[in-house]
Amino acid sequence: MKNLIYTIILSTFMYSCGSKPTQKSKSTTPPANSQTAIIQLDNIQLNVPEGWEKVTPTSSMRVAQMNLKSDPSIQMTVFFFGEQDMIQQNIDRWKGQFTQLTEFTELSSQKPEVSAVKILGTFKQKARPMASDFTEAPGYGTLAAIVPSKSGPYYIKLSAPEAIILSQENGFMQMLDSYSSN
C-alpha cells in the first residue's frame, strides 16, 4: 500500500513539474523586437512603464498585473469593481492603509480624467488583503491611480519600499499620461 501511495505522489509530482515551464514561458516571454507593451482594459489602453513587464495576474481579483523586471516580487496591480464613482473613498482607503503618513501628494497627470496619488509613511503590511492583522512597515509607499473607462473605473496600485516608489514615480506617471480611450 505504501508503494502505491509513493507511486501516485511521484507520478503527480512529475506530471505537474513537466507541464509548468511551457505554460510559464509562453505567458511571460515578450516577442522579439517588440514595441512598448500595452495594457488594454475595456475601451482604454496604457503603456507598460519601462522596466516593468506585463504578466498573468496572480489573483482572480486582478484584471492586469505588471512585475518590476529587476525584482519580480514588486507588483503593480490593476483592479476593476464595476460601475462606481468612488474616487475620494478609494483615496481615503489607500491613506488608511498607513498608520503614519510622512507624505501625501495628489499627482497631476497630463490626462485630467485620471486621478493619482503618492503616499509615503508607515504601511500596514498584511499577510493577505482582507486580514485585520498587520505589521508596521516604516519607509513604505504607494502610487495609486483611478482610470476611467466606459464600464467604470480601473484602480492601479503599487505598494513597495519608499526607494522603489520614488524611483518608479516618473514611469508610473508616464504610464498614466499614455492613457487613451476610444
Is residue 139 within 8 Å of residue 164, measured between CB atoms? Answer: no
89 domain-assigned = yes
The answer to the question of residue 86 being in a domain is yes
pLDDT attached to residue 6: 36
Does residue 2 sit within a domain?
A: no
Is 80 within a domain? yes
Closest CA to 141 of 126, 163, 156: 163
Q: What is the pLDDT of residue 156?
A: 97
How far from chain centre, in Å, is Cα 33? 25
Q: What is the mean pLDDT of each run of 10 residues along the chain (182 residues)?
A: 38 34 30 69 95 94 96 96 87 96 96 96 90 94 96 96 98 97 90
Find, among 6, 70, 57, 59, the residue nearest to 28 by Cα.
57
Q: What is the pLDDT of residue 19?
A: 33
User: Into how many domains does the chain fold?
Assistant: 1
The Cα 123–Cα 138 span in angstroms is: 6
Per-residue b/e over 86-124, b at no fewer than 16 CB within 10 Å?
A: eeeebbeebeebbeeeeeeeebebebeebbbbbbbbebb
Q: What is the CATH number of the domain that holds 79?
A: 3.40.1000.10
Q: Do the beta carbons of residue 153 and residue 87 sit within 8 Å?
A: yes
Residue 142: which of 70, 92, 88 has the closest Cα? 92
